[in-house]
Amino acid sequence: MRLWKIIYFSLKRRAFGRRFFDGKVRAYPTLRCNLSCEYCVNNHIDGGRHLADYSLLDPEEWIEIFNWLNRDVILTGGEPLLYPDLGKVILGVNPKLEVTVYSNLMVPLRGDLSWLQRKRLSVYASYHISGNRDSLFAENVRLLKKSGTPFSVHAINLEGRDRLQAAFAEKLGAGAPHIDIDEDQRNIFPGSSKAFRKMVRCDRAVILIAPDGGRYQCVSRMVRRVAPFENLAKDPLSGIRHVVDCPDFGFCAPCDYLGETKFTEPNTKTANPIDDG
Ligand code: SF4
Ligand code: SF4
């Protein structure tokens, strides 16, 4: 991939207005998952061999981090519902902050579900056709409806929009919720799932927190455990925007294209974090 193309794609993405940091914290309480989607970064990078290395923070540590950062929270993964005591974390976050759970909804929702009653909670459900657990998904959707928890459903466009929508409606039966179909980021983002590696200057404003509290420039680095910044379980926030020279463009995670991200010519100067508030 020629560098002008990389810059072109960054500019094109800016033109579509997806360049701004939304101010939210993206936390990965666990990177483990009950599914194995073909487009998942966990499988895409080194067979996910580093996932088991991560120690998990306690619920209290997550709560302290979120309330100290005082920003709306996205709990993602992996499958966050596999994190023990996710409900405790959700209920411990300052009620003024929004909490959004990104889930495949293919984990049984059992036990104490009082967290579903939290105000300012929503669920962003991903329907993964490889999951093959549609009855569980449907059961969880019913539960969310009953609890009144706002939720939305999306899927990655692997099968063709019409076929995917029809299959979803058929499998979920009467009462199937609306499903949004998103493009496969691998087809849009020139830096992901490629055979080449390229040195670029990677400029991102994002707060990604790994299962052990470490902060990373991107999901790809987090999964590979490459060059963490501070650990928020013990260190202050080092700044929101970081600029790094990275040799791994082409090996980025599909979702590393989202938000305020810019790729340009590499720079030989030492990369420094820039705090833009
Ligand atoms: S559900 Fe999400 S985290 Fe799990 S394998 Fe699929 S893409 Fe990966
Ligand atoms: S691998 Fe990560 S740090 Fe490197 S270019 Fe891709 S998004 Fe940036």
Residue 184 lies in a domain: yes
pLDDT tens digits for range 145-178: 999 999 999 998 887 888 888 888 888 888 889 9
**Ligand 1 touching residue 254 (CB < 6 A):** no
CATH number reported for the structural domain that contains residue 98 in this entry: 3.20.20.70
Counting the structural domains of the chain, the total is 1
Label residue 16 by pLDDT band (50, 70, 90). very low
Residue 93: count of CB within 10 angstroms of its CB: 21
* 141 vs 50, higher pLDDT: 141
Q: How far apart are the CA of 203 and the centre of ligand 2, in A?
A: 9
| Window from 53-67, 107-121, 158-172, 189-203 with minimum mean pLDDT | 158-172
Q: What angle do CA 74, 75, 80 make, to 5 degrees?
A: 160
Q: List CB contacts of 146: < 8 A, sequence separation 6 or more.
A: none
pTM to 2 decimal places: 0.89
Start-to-end CA distance of the chain, whole Å, equals 33
Does the structure show a pLDDT above 50 at 117?
A: yes
Q: How far apart are the CA of 80 and the centre of ligand 1, in A?
A: 10
Which whole number is the average pLDDT over 188-194? Answer: 85
Label residue 277 by pLDDT band (50, 70, 90). very low
Residue 171 lies in a domain: yes
Q: What is the pLDDT of residue 276?
A: 46
Residue 126 lies in a domain: yes
Pocket test residue of 28, 30, 35, 123 for ligand 1, highest count of atoms within 8 A of CB: 35
Residue 258 lies in a domain: no
Which whole number is the average pLDDT over 201-212? Answer: 96
Range of the domain at 137: 22-190+212-241
Residue found by looking up tokens 């302290």 in the block: 64
Q: How far is it, in rounded angstroms, from Cα 211 to Cα 184? A: 25
